[in-house]
Structure 1
C-alpha cells in the first residue's frame, strides 16, 4: 500500500484571478509561446488565513488537464502567485505517457510562483490524506526541494517577468520533491493558475521512480541522512616510548662538617641526566662491615645532607646515588672514610701574596718557599708536583706545626710546574697551588736568509728560535760584519718583527749578518748567521762634480763709515774713526793737511777688520787741521777727510791777576 501523501499548506495571498483562456489540447511536441506575449497581470490578493479550509485535491482524472501547458501569456506575475503545496510522494501510481521534451529555450518558471499541480492518477487515499502545514518560504513561495530521487518530480512553473519573453520550460529533474497540490483558492484562480502553468512532463524513468517508503512529518527528506556515514580518520599511531635511562654518578662528594654525633656531606649534580632527576639517596656503611644503611628515607632534591645520630669514633664510608624513572645511578663515594669526632680547628693554609701569582726564577737561582698554615690537632702536610710526589733528591721539604718549607738549592728547567700543598685534619682538607716557572736565555733563531739586495740596502728574514728559554720572546738583535775587518756592529736592537732592512752600507764592501733572540732574561748567547754574503757593487754609480763659476770677490776700497768733524780740548787725547772695505785688503794711510803722518809717536794708527782709528795723544793748539784717511789696493783707492779743532781752556782767575 502506498504511503499516505503529505500535503503542505502555506499562507497564501488571495487575489481574484482573471479568466484565462481555455488550455489548448496537448500536443506531442508543444511549441514555445511567442516571445511577444506579455504576461497577464493580476491584482494583488489578500492573504488567506492559516486556518482556511483544507485545500481540495484535484481528482486523478484532473491530472492530465493540470499537466497541459497553458499559454505563456496567461501566467500571473511572480509576486501574485501563491506558494504551492507539495503532493505526497507516493501519490503517483502510474507515470504519465511520455511526451517529447520541451525545446531548450523553454525554462520552467521560477520556484517563487509554483502553480498548483496534481500528480497524475492519484489514488483516493492520497486525496483524502490530511494536510500538513508547510513552513513559510520567507515571502518567496519556494517549494521544498528535499527528498531527492524518492518520487517522480512534479512540473516546475515560473511566471515570466514583466516585459520579458515567456518562461522557458525545462524538464524537471529527479531531485524535485513530490507533486504540489493546489492551495485553497477560488475555482477561477485555480483555473487561471492551471492555465498559466506550462505543462512539463517528466521523463519516463523519473516517473517510474518508486516513492520513498517513509517520509518525515514535515514532508522533508535529508540527503545527508540517506547517505552512509563517513568514516572517521584514524589517529596516528604514537611512537614507542623512549627507554628510561638512569643518570651518571654524583660529582665531588666531600665532607662539609663533622662533630661528635653527625656528619654533613655535600656533592654536585651528575654530569649526565638521563630520564630526569627525582632526588638523591645517601648511604653509609661502618668500617669493616658490608651493610649499607640509607640515611634519608625519601630522595632529597638538595645537594647537601646531614647524617645524624652517629656514635663518636665511628669510621664511616659514605656514598651518594641519584634516583629517577630509569633506576639508581652509579654511586659517588668519598675517597676516604670519615671519623665521627669533633674537630677543634679546621686546617687552613695562609699563602703569601707573592706566591698567589706565578713565581719566576732564573736557572741556577735558589728557591726557598715558607708557607704558614693552621689546624688542630696537628695537620698532615703533603706536597705534589703536577699531581706526582716530589723527588727528595732534587728538593727538600721541612714541616713544622705552623709552616712548611720547600727548598731547592739550584733550580733547573725541569723544576718548572704546578706545586700543590695539602693540609689535612681527619676528613677536612685545605689545598694551595703554587706555579713555579724557571727561565733562561733563549736559543738562536731557527734560520736566517738574505731576501734582497739593492743599492746600499739589504733585506733580511728569519724565524723564531726553537727554544724560547721557557718564556716569551721579547725581541731580536741584528748585527753586521764587513768581510775585510770581521768586526760585528749592531744595526737593529730590540726589534720585534721577523724581517728587517739594513741600510747605509759601504759601496764595494761585502757583509755578513747575524740575529740574536731576546727574552725577559736577556739576549741569547748564540745567533743565527747568514750563509750567504751581501756585496754592495760599484757598477752603475759614477760621481761627477758640479761645474760652477767661482765668484769674484775683488773690490776697490770703499769707506762704509766716513770721518766726522770733531773738536778737542788741549791736553785731552782724542780719536778719529772710519770704516773701509775692499778686496784685496786695502792699505790705509793717514794725512794731516795733505801731509802723510809718519812715525810720529804723538799719533797712533790702528786698522782692525776694516775699522781705521787715528789716536792723537794730548793734542795742542798746533794739532788742529784737516785729517785725511786714504785706502788703496790693486783695484783702486778711496779717501775721506774731517776737520779737527783744538781749543784752549781759559782760566778766569788767571786773567784777573794779569
Structure 2
C-alpha cells in the first residue's frame, strides 16, 4: 500500500551520559626544599558519574601566568613539583579529569616559597682552651660548617667536673661571639668543656673539647722582645730623650730591672721606668755622651728569667786628636801624624782638618805646597777631627824647623789574606824604590788578596792586589732527573761551586744505556742548568752525566742515578657495577658511572663486555672504546640471562673490569590491561603500558663526610639509573656491627633500622645522631621513584662515631 507519514522526534545531541567532575579541594604545599615541594589535595565532591582518571597541576608566580606542571595526568592525590627557584613565591591549582573532560580549577593554594629545609645547626669546629688560671678558663671555637639553613643565634657552653653531670654556664643569654671566659672555677678541680650552637629551630649538636683542664695558675718563664725602633741600635743626639720600649711575656708578672754595666737604674729626675705589661719602657731625658753604651733589661719570676741588651748611641762632636807629633823632616817636606780621638762622638770620623802657620804670622792657613818647600823655616801645625755631629777642639804642635834628615830604606813584607808561611814557590826581590813578588807553578788555591806593607821610622803604608788563578770548573751539584715518561725526561743540576775563576760558558750532557754502558753525547752546548732529553726507548734504563765548560776547558763529570723510561701514570681503576635498563626480549640498555680513580689521566673511552649467566668467557660488545656511558645491546637471545661489566681506558691503557651487573633475563615487559565498563551504555578498553618504569639503581659515592662522638654524617650521589622516573627520595638505614663466629656470614637483610623517620629525604646528605662512640655501625642508602624502592648502596666499612679536629677527607 505504501509508506505512511513520518513522525519526527525532538532534537538530540550525541554526547556522553557523564558530566565533567567537580573541582578538587584546595592544594596544600608540604615537604618544601630549595627547588621542590610536595602538593596535596582532596578528591572532588562530585565525580560526574565517571571515575576520576587523573589530575592536572598548574603553577604560577604570584599574580603571573599559569603554567602546566605535569605532562601526563597524576593518578595520586599528591605530586612532587620539581624545578622551582629558591625564594620565589608560587601559587598552584588542580584540575580533575574523567571520561567527560576536565573539571574547573580548584581554589588557588596559599603562596609557597621554596627554601632550604631548616634543621638544627651542626657542631662548632675545633673548640679549645686558649688560656686558663685557678679561677677562669678562656674558650675559643669556629662557627659550625652547617647552620641548618638558619643563622646561628648564639652558643651554649657547658662544663663538667670530674664525676659530676654537665652544667650550663651561660644560663640567661646566648653567647654571641666564638669566644667565652668561664669564671668561678674552683682551684685544683678538673673540668671538661663542650659547646653547641643554637638557631631558630633549637640547640644543635655539641662538640666537646678533647683535653680536660685543671684550674690552676699557668707559670710561664719570661720572654722579652725589644721594639723594632730600638732592636738593633738606638741612636739619639745630645740633648734629646732616650726612649727604650720592650715587650715582656710571662706569668706571673715578672720583676723588671734596667742596668748599664754594674749600675742598676732607679726612678729619678732624668730617668722614668714604666711597667704596663706586656709593655715595659725606660725614658732618659736630655741625653749626654756619658749615656751611650749597652743597657740590659732583665725580667725574673718564679719560672725563670730572661734578659735583652739594647745598644744606645748618643751623637756628639768628636774629642780632640791624640799624640800629635812630627815623624820625619826632609829638605822639602815633613810628616805630621796623630792618633784618632778617644771619643769619636758616636759616629765615624769623616775627615781631619790640618792647618799651619809661621810663628811670626797670626793667621792659620790650610796645608799647601807653599809651606813645605822652604828649608830652615820654622812652622806650627794644628789638627781637628770632624764627624756628623760637628768639629772637635784644635790640637797644635810646638815650633818645627824644616831641614833635611837622612832616611833609612823601608822594611817590606808580603802577606796573602793575613796568612804567612814559607813557600818554596815564592820569591821576593826588594830594592831601594821597588819590591817584586814572584809565585811560580800557580794553583787554583793561590787565588786571593795579596797585601804589601812598607814600614820605616815615619810610619807605614799598605797596598794590595787581587789575584785570580784561572782553571777548569769543578763538578756540577745536586743533579736530578724528573718528568720521566716513555720517551723523554728532564735533567736538572746546580752550577759548580768553583767556576774556575771565569764564567761557565756551557754544559755537556751525555747519556748511557746501562745494559750497554756506552756513553754518547746528547748535547755539547747547553747554556741553562737543565736539559729536556728526548728520543728515549721505553723500558730502557739510562744514566746521565753533566760537565761544566769554561774558556780554560771542561770540568769533571757528575753522574745521575739510573732511571727507567716509562710513564708515571697508571691505568684507570674499575667502575662501579653497571645498571641494566629498558629490557626487551632481544635488547637491553646498559648504563654506568665513571671510575673513582682515573690513573692520573682523563678517561678516553669504555669497553663493554657481556656473558650469559652460566658462561665463563666474557665477550666484548664494542670493538673499540666508546666515550658515552650508555649503550644499547642488541641481538640477544630471548629468555636467556645476561650479565655485563665495563672497563675504562686512558692514555696508559685499559683498566681492570668492574664487578658484573645483576643477572637480567631478556624478555618483553608485562603489559597490564585494564577494562573500564560503562554501566549505562557500553564498555571501553583503556590500557596503559608500564613497561618502561622500574625501581632506580643504587646511589653512588656513599661516604662519611663528618663525625662527632655522638653523630655521623653521610653523603652520596644520585643513582646512575633512575628507573625511568624522577627520584623522589632516599631511605637511610643502619645496624650494629656483629662479630660472627667461625666462617658464618650475617644475613644481609637482618637488623636494619630506618634512620630518616621524620619524613621523606630529598637531599643527598643525612646526619645520624645519638650514637654510641664504643659501637661500630653499618650503613646503607636506597633511592626511591614512583615505582618503588631501589637496591641499596652499602658503606664499604663499618664506622664508629669520633671527634674530627680540623679538616679531614674521608
Q: Could you state the TM-score of these two structures normalised by the residue count of structure 1?
A: 0.30
Larger Rg: 1
Between Structure 1 and Structure 2, the one with more helix by share is: 1
Q: Could you state the TM-score of these two structures normalised by the residue count of structure 2?
A: 0.25
